[in-house]
């Protein structure tokens, strides 16, 4: 990550605190030099981890200055003891930074149901604060990883009149499915954003990105995305419903979609990144439902892994999506190769061409319903033998 991509006024640090038995990085800290306006989106799972129970009400108040994140242990389903550990770590960060504890957010990711030890935090937090630096964002991204094969960072900048930057850091490879469809995501900007726009822009960006991907159909107990805007770029406030707001939202959308696609590409055991594009729908919501039905089908995903242009599985998933469709009007293609027109196969020669498309690492499945003008997309991965192996051995 180029230091030039880092928004002004943010510092980072990470370390191996001993939470992970492997000795890998497992603790990260993000700090804004001044309290930042913030917004958040959280898991809709009814089983909620201790860090979220403390972080969510703080974020609702609209201010945040520090984010402490650990991997290796989710601190979920750990009862009063887990909540006490979470609160103690939060207070320790606030004390060391000499800020109010209401300005600290905490996040955890890893194994569910195991007690999170307090000692690594008590020993590690002073070092984290001491090591804070503008060039350690990649270290935090690595410290967040669990089964991830690679760290995930994306950036954007506006070089116009307001001249600000946006940086996104995320982790996720398994338990990826709306809502939310990421394990953890932290987005930072030095722009000055009105609270109204901060909330609406994040919600909109999440719907187009993290809530439009699926790896395995599982939604975690710990999912959260936080957006912090500290105004350090010293530009004028960007208000909602303005041209400047539209530009900011476009940048934010791109950063989150880039991160979301990285998560799908890194799906546990995945070998393919596939965009399911539904066009010709009556409205965008209906197109989204159909795309989601296809993207989450285990049979479709295993066909992708086998590089089998089995469009029958795709049209079946369209049919059980719950949306009224006309099977005699549905067209299906892989990239630009049509395999079915008006719900009927158009020959083995086309399927042979489509099979070559499926041999690619990334491709698009387009489904035309011929019912309207709206469209929507979902991103999914294939489902491989490796996914079973990874998750069978996850706790060992």
With residue 10 as reference, give the H or E element that holds it: strand 10-15
Burial classification of residue 347, based on how many CB atoms lie within 10 Å of its CB (0-12 exposed, 13-18 middle, 19 or more buried) = exposed
Question: Do 297 and 201 reside in the same domain of the chain?
Answer: no
Residues 289 and 237 in one domain: no
- pLDDT value of residue 146: 87
Q: How many domains does one find in the chain?
A: 2
CA distances from 298 to 22, 214, 294, 302, 317 (A): 32, 11, 9, 6, 10
Which residue among 245, 265, 285 closes a domain? 265
- Do 225 and 281 lie in one domain? The reply is no
The pLDDT value given to residue 179:
55
Residue where the block lists tokens 């500290």: 230
Domain boundary among 265, 299, 323: 265
State how far the Cα of 66 lies from the Cα of 333, in Å rounded to an integer: 47
Same domain assignment for residues 195 and 219: yes
Is the same domain home to 214 and 72?
A: yes
Q: How far apart are CA 292 and CA 185, in angstroms?
A: 22
The answer to whether the CB of 240 falls within 8 A of the CB of 147 is no
Nearest to 16 by CA among 173, 184, 174, 139: 139
Tell me the CB-side half-sphere exposure of residue 109, using CA atoms within 13 A.
32
Q: What is the CATH number of the domain that holds 139?
A: 3.60.70.12
396 is annotated as an active-site residue: no
Active-site residue identified among 182, 219, 296, 366: 182
Tens of pLDDT along the chain (396 residues) come to: 566 789 999 999 999 999 998 999 999 999 999 999 999 999 878 888 999 999 999 999 999 999 999 999 999 999 999 999 999 999 999 999 999 999 999 999 988 899 999 999 999 999 999 999 999 999 999 999 988 888 999 999 999 788 999 999 999 765 455 555 446 999 999 999 999 999 999 999 998 888 888 765 555 677 899 999 999 998 899 999 999 999 999 999 999 999 989 988 876 667 899 999 999 999 999 999 999 999 999 999 999 999 999 999 999 999 999 999 999 999 999 999 999 999 999 999 999 999 999 999 999 999 999 999 999 999 998 887 776 676 666 555
The domain of 370 spans 273-392
Q: Is 347 left (phi over 0), alpha (psi -120 to 50) or beta?
A: left
Q: What's this model's pTM, rounded to 2 decimal places?
A: 0.86
CATH of the domain at 325: 3.10.20.340
**Domain-terminating residue out of 265, 297, 324:** 265
Of all helices (H) and strands (E), which one includes residue 29?
Answer: strand 27-42
């Amino acid at each position: 990550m180029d230091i030039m991509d880092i928004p002004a006024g943010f510092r980072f640090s990470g370390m191996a605190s001993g939470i992970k038995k492997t000795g890998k990085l497992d603790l990260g800290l993000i700090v804004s030099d001044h309290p930042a306006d913030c917004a958040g989106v959280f898991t809709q799972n009814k089983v909620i981890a201790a860090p979220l129970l403390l972080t969510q009400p703080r974020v609702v108040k609209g201010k945040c200055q520090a984010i402490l994140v650990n991997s290796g242990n989710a601190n979920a389903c750990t009862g009063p003891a887990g909540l006490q550990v979470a609160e103690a770590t939060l207070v320790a960060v606030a004390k060391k930074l000499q800020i109010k504890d209401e300005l600290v957010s905490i996040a955890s990711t890893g194994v569910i149901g195991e007690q999170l030890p307090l000692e690594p935090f008590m020993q590690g937090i002073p070092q984290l604060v001491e090591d804070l630096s503008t060039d350690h964002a990649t270290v935090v991204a690595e410290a967040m990883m669990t089964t991830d094969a690679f760290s995930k960072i994306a950036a954007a900048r506006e070089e116009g009149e307001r001249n600000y930057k946006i940086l996104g850091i995320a982790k996720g490879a398994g338990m990826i499915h709306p809502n939310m469809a990421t394990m953890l995501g932290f987005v930072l900007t030095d722009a000055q954003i009105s609270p109204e726009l901060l909330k609406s822009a994040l919600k909109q960006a999440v719907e187009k990105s993290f809530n439009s991907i699926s790896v395995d159909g599982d939604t975690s107990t710990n999912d959260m995305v936080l957006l912090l805007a500290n105004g350090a770029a010293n530009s004028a406030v960007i208000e909602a419903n303005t041209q400047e707001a539209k530009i900011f939202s476009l940048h934010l959308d791109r950063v989150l979609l880039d991160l979301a696609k990285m998560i799908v590409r890194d799906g546990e055991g995945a070998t393919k990144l596939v965009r399911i594009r539904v066009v010709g729908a009556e409205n965008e919501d209906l197109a989204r439902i159909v795309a989601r039905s296809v993207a989450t089908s285990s049979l479709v995903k295993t066909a992708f892994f086998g590089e089998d242009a089995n469009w029958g599985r795709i049209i079946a998933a369209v049919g059980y999506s719950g949306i009224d469709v006309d099977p005699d009007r549905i067209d299906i293609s892989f990239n630009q190769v049509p395999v079915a027109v008006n719900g009927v196969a158009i020959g083995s020669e086309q399927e042979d061409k489509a099979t070559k498309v499926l041999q690619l690492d990334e491709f698009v499945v387009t489904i035309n319903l011929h019912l309207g003008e709206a469209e929507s997309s979902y991103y999914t991965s294939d489902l491989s033998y490796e996914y079973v192996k990874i998750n069978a051995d996850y706790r060992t």
